[in-house]
Amino acid sequence: MALVVQKYGGSSVSDAERIRRVAERIVETKRQGNDVVVVVSAMGDTTDELLDLAEQVNPNPPAREMDMLLTSGERISNSLVAMAISSLGEEAQSFTGSQAGVITTSSHGKAKIIDVTPGRVRSALDDGKIVLVAGFQGVALDTKDVTTLGRGGSDTTAVALAAALNADVCEIYTDVDGVYTADPRIVPDARHLSQVSFEEMLEMAACGAKILMLRCVEYARRYNVPVHVRSSYSTKPGTMVSGSMEDIPVEDAILTGVAHDRSEAQVTVFGIDDKPGNAARIFRAVADAEINIDMVLQNISKVETGKTDITFTLPRELGQLAIDKLGELQAEIGFSKLVLDENIGKVSLIGAGMKSHPGVTATFCEALSEAGVNIELISTSEIRISVLCQESQLDDAVRALHKAFDLGGDEEAVVHGGTGR
Amino acid sequence: MALVVQKYGGSSVSDAERIRRVAERIVETKRQGNDVVVVVSAMGDTTDELLDLAEQVNPNPPAREMDMLLTSGERISNSLVAMAISSLGEEAQSFTGSQAGVITTSSHGKAKIIDVTPGRVRSALDDGKIVLVAGFQGVALDTKDVTTLGRGGSDTTAVALAAALNADVCEIYTDVDGVYTADPRIVPDARHLSQVSFEEMLEMAACGAKILMLRCVEYARRYNVPVHVRSSYSTKPGTMVSGSMEDIPVEDAILTGVAHDRSEAQVTVFGIDDKPGNAARIFRAVADAEINIDMVLQNISKVETGKTDITFTLPRELGQLAIDKLGELQAEIGFSKLVLDENIGKVSLIGAGMKSHPGVTATFCEALSEAGVNIELISTSEIRISVLCQESQLDDAVRALHKAFDLGGDEEAVVHGGTGR
């Protein structure tokens, strides 16, 4: 008998009919002899409707109350799924994040899981029940207030529960049947991957692949929880994310795929006096505004002027904030100009095989050059190459790289619309 | 500085605009120098929408999960009101029933409050915050599961909190501006009452007046919490429910009003062997089915047959259940016939003045007789006379009694539609 944690996104439970179908799948898993713990996101549009109501009463609502409001969404979907399961003859019990022992920091709207103490979940399982846990939420260790985990929080709840319960697998049900070598909406012959290592999946997520959120993969890797990404709409096997890249024999190491990201903007600070501490001051100002930066480039300073430029990328919605914060530093640091470019895209090639295949960077750059894509910035890790280009050229860049590295398969991918949180 | 507990029904917070208006009233109360605790029901149709969803996934949902589902409604409305208050510049914090220390029995869907331990509410008040508490819900002492209090639960939450916090007053905001001598929709010249004793209000509630639920008045009386029933739509004084009837000087004691009730049905068991224990067996069977009965009549048994009839009233929705349960006893007890009449109504005259005014019963019966209303059953208490009649004659009966006892005023009552839970 295995212990299986399953997570269903909001589109999988968007109405009563879909809730019944999800319940059938859960009951089937139980009747195959497994203990089953299920994490469900809020139903389809619930979160947007609640956000809209909040906006109407207060355009700038307190984060604590926002968490109180939004967590009701998962409470509704989880209790409904429990009812549907019970109508199929199995006993089910739903728990809030707090009841399930999901302990978090008190950072409302973006709390981090500190610990999971699933005593009530465990005893309900021991009683033969199917357990539902509201995803995306927890309770703050210090204030005892209800918190939310931010985007992708339900996936993280599922993985954290799987880790705490020492589950055999964490199944993440979504609109697609797993991870592909590229987004099938851009590359029609993108190939389905049956297995990806944690490290590769981390790089994919960090580079914009939307299948799993970065935090969730980090959690799974840290606690070594195998994550099976599957489709809510079919029973065929998905992608198993598990194991370390280190365990893959060198000759089997391959290139995983091409990821892309449209969510970043680029800020360039021109004409900075090239003195020690100026770059640090710039990045400190950005960090103090709680902005995470991604790629960074500092030009070699021009000998004749002693000036340098710094370019970095950051989440697009925070671009203006960064410009405002840096503007306040202009007198102190004495740079000449700030430019925000919101029309950029990032394309990345990921794979453990990169280490053992020489010439990947050369092929990478040639492919983009042949496709007429200008590289604006480049960064690499042991198993990844990423470049920044104009957003309008991003799809071409993805297709060119996918083709150049021969990542395609024979079957066309099947894609369903929408994603949960 | 006073401590005021306010309760707003679902129709008072049915959309963003109304939520903002409720927030203004709360902030005004705070700025008059009061500590304010607010209990809000679920928004307008939320509960019905959730019930509808539950019905779609499971026509017979487990009560525990139903409570988990329904309690999200108050969570939504309370956090939204907190947000609206915060946009007006006051600090507000919302608590679930569990967080506010509302401890109940574990009887899902109809839990009773055992204790209120409002430690978190008290410290938020001490911090100068306005406190919101989700009505209608609590946490079970033994199972730690979320419970609901059943109909009228939000009023009870408000009164229980007021008692535990030793509040100066509990204000119940509703669609009408207080208690009237009769339902103004039936009696246009019904008079507004500025003051009613707990005992009179108890009788009014027990006899079908929908302003306050019976449990809430019982709670207020037991803990001596003055309850001010007011309109959400105006600022004029409502009805203060407080004080014991015993404290009213005899010469000031008056008749409070006429209440009516369409929610009951009547069951008659014909031809029972008039042996000791048969009546007890009948009432035990009804009680075992958790049916509360209201009025009872046992005819004097006919000497020639040794048979008797028993008639009683009960909540209309439980009428068929009672018939089924009694049917199972027919062989054992040997009665001849069971009849269920769902077309009955009850009209009651209530008032502490009844004790000191002789002839009330006579006037009562004469008035009904003149109005052509047949009395089917009569029951009395120290401060109440109730009779059962055909439902079709109920409105005529209310008007006749209101007129006969000269209860009318000069002003026409103002009535708004809808009621919360």
Give B66's contacts in chain A (Cβ within 8 Å). 79, 83
Residue B419's pLDDT band (cuts 50, 70, 90) = very low
- The whole-angstrom separation of Cα A24 and Cα A18 is 10
| CA-to-CA separations, B210 to A247, B183, B217, B292, in angstroms, rounded | 71, 9, 12, 18
Test A99 with B144 for CB contact under 8 angstroms: yes
Give A81's contacts in chain B (Cβ within 8 Å). 57
A63 domain residue, yes or no: yes
- The whole-angstrom separation of Cα A199 and Cα A180 is 16
B367 domain residue, yes or no: no
pLDDT of res. B385: 93
In chain A, what percentage of residues exceed pLDDT 90? 71
Q: Are B291 and B322 in contact (CB under 8 A)?
A: yes
pLDDT of res. A253: 67
pLDDT of res. B416: 46
Strand arrangement of the beta sheet that strand B344-350 belongs to: B257-261, B344-350, B384-390, B377-381
ipTM score over 0.85, yes or no: no
A149 domain residue, yes or no: yes
* Number of domains observed in the structure of chain A: 1
Q: Kindly state the tokens that stand for A87.
A: 């109508």
- The whole-angstrom separation of Cα A16 and Cα B69 is 14
Report the pLDDT averaged over residues A115-134: 97
Q: Are A377 and A313 in contact (CB under 8 A)?
A: yes
pLDDT of res. A420: 34
User: Which residues of B lie inside 8 Å of A (Cβ-Cβ)?
Assistant: 16, 19-20, 23, 50, 53-54, 56-62, 64-66, 68-69, 71-73, 75-76, 78-84, 86-87, 92-94, 96, 99, 120, 144, 146
Domain that holds residue A101: 3-174
Q: Are A155 and A212 in contact (CB under 8 A)?
A: yes
Q: Is A145 helix (H, G, I), strand (E, B) or coil?
A: coil
- DSSP annotation string for A297-355: EEPPPBTTTTEEEEEEEEEGGGHHHHHHHHHTTHHHH--SEEEEE--EEEEEEE-GGGG
Test B83 with A69 for CB contact under 8 angstroms: yes
B37 domain residue, yes or no: yes
In chain B, what percentage of residues exceed pLDDT 70? 96
A354 domain residue, yes or no: no
Helices (H), B289-378: 319-327, 330-333, 360-370
- Taking the model in full, what pTM does it have? 0.84
Rounded to a whole number of angstroms, the distance from the CA of A52 to the nearest CA of chain B is 10
A156 domain residue, yes or no: yes
SS3 content of chain B, % helix, strand, coil (to 5): 40, 25, 35
A268 domain residue, yes or no: no
- DSSP annotation string for A176-191: SSSEESS-TTT-TTPP
Report the pLDDT averaged over residues B275-298: 87
Closest CA to B71 of B170, B162, B171, B157: B157
Give B120's contacts in chain A (Cβ within 8 Å). 144
Q: Kindly state the tokens that stand for A23.
A: 């319940």
Q: What is the CATH number of the domain that holds B162?
A: 3.40.1160.10
pLDDT per position as a tens digit, B140-189:
999 999 999 987 899 999 999 999 999 999 999 988 899 999 999 999 99
| CA-to-CA separations, A364 to A215, A252, A361, A380, A406, in angstroms, rounded | 28, 21, 5, 12, 12
Mean pLDDT of chain B: 91
Measured in whole angstroms, the distance separating CA A238 from the mean position of its chain's CA atoms is 17
A79 domain residue, yes or no: yes
